[in-house]
């Protein structure tokens, strides 16, 4: 009797061991291609349960705030699949992007963690000469104003026209020394800020252009307002 029970148990163990969820993802990386700075790009990948027990999607988390995801169903039955939609914002990047990912956590006992890598090439048509489009004023006394300049170069082989300069706050003023830039030509943007409160403040200026690839170039502006002596 004991021998028969042992045989039955030995036959049952492989069945029990095989009864588990198993994740399958159709892509381990997503190449978003060329994106012009400031634009967003959408992509997707599919998660499938190829096991024989329910697959629980415990977490789908992008590695940074530059990426938003539309999460799939919480539980996938055996054989069931669902899509994960991804939206990547290029606003904070220049050049090659290859360190961002979407992390997936499930109850798959063999592959609990899975990552989908995001790849992109972020380009600019109006390129800041100093390598950044951030204008940092440092400390500015409340009630006073300060001025900074930033220069952009047209890196394309066609003219670009700046149609408008739109500040996010009335405490900002913007002046450009020209509106139309020939290829390889540069424009100097003069930014004036008036500190109207104490503490750290961030604003931005949008340069609106006639470029189809990069119709908006954002200049970020920061300062710390301080009391006068």
Superfamily of domain 22-123 in CATH is Immunoglobulins (2.60.40.10)
pLDDT tens digit string along 93-119?
999 999 999 999 999 999 999 999 999
pLDDT at 146: 97
Q: Delimit the CATH 2.60.40.10 region(s) of the chain.
A: 22-123, 126-226
* Whole-angstrom distance, CA of residue 59 vs CA of residue 117: 16
Backbone torsion region of residue 163, taken as left when φ is above 0, otherwise alpha when ψ lies between -120 and 50, otherwise beta: alpha
The tokens for 212 are 């189809």
Q: What are the DSSP calls for 45-105, one per residue?
A: EEEEE-SSSPEEEEEEEESSTTEEEE---SEE-TT-EEEEEEEEE-TT--EEEEEEEEEEE
- Cβ atoms of 98 and 119 closer than 8 Å: yes
Instruction: Report the pLDDT value the prediction gives residue 14, as an integer from 0 to 100.
Output: 54
What is the DSSP secondary structure assignment for residue 170, as one 8-state letter?
A: T
Q: pTM score, two decimals?
A: 0.81
Q: Which CATH number fits domain 126-226: 1.10.3130.10, 2.60.40.10, 1.20.1740.10, 3.40.50.970?
A: 2.60.40.10
- DSSP secondary structure letters along 15-30: HHHH-S--EEES-SEE
Residue 3 is predicted with a pLDDT of: 54
Residues in the chain predicted with pLDDT less than 50, given as ranges, are: 8-9, 12, 15-16
């Amino acid at each position: 009797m004991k021998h028969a029970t042992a045989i039955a148990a030995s036959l049952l163990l492989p069945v029990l061991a095989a009864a588990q969820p198993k994740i399958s993802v159709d892509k381990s990386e997503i190449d978003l291609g060329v994106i012009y700075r400031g634009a967003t790009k959408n992509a997707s990948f599919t998660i499938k349960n190829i096991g024989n027990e329910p697959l629980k999607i415990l977490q789908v988390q992008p590695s940074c705030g530059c990426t938003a995801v539309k999460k799939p169903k919480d539980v996938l039955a055996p054989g069931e699949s669902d899509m994960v939609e991804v939206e990547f914002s290029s606003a904070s990047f220049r050049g090659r992007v290859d360190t961002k990912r979407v992390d997936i956590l499930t109850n798959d006992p063999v592959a609990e963690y899975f990552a989908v890598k995001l790849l992109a090439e972020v380009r600019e048509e109006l390129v800041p000469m100093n390598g950044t489009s951030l204008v940092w004023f440092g400390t500015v006394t409340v009630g006073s104003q300060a001025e900074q300049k930033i220069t952009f170069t047209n890196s394309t082989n066609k003219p670009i026209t700046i149609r408008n300069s739109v500040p996010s706050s009335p405490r900002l003023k913007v002046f450009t020394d020209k509106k139309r830039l020939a290829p390889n030509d540069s424009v100097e943007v003069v930014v004036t800020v008036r500190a109207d409160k104490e503490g750290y403040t961030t604003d931005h200026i949008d340069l609106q252009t006639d470029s189809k690839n990069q119709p908006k170039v954002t200049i970020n502006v920061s300062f710390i307002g301080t009391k006068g002596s």
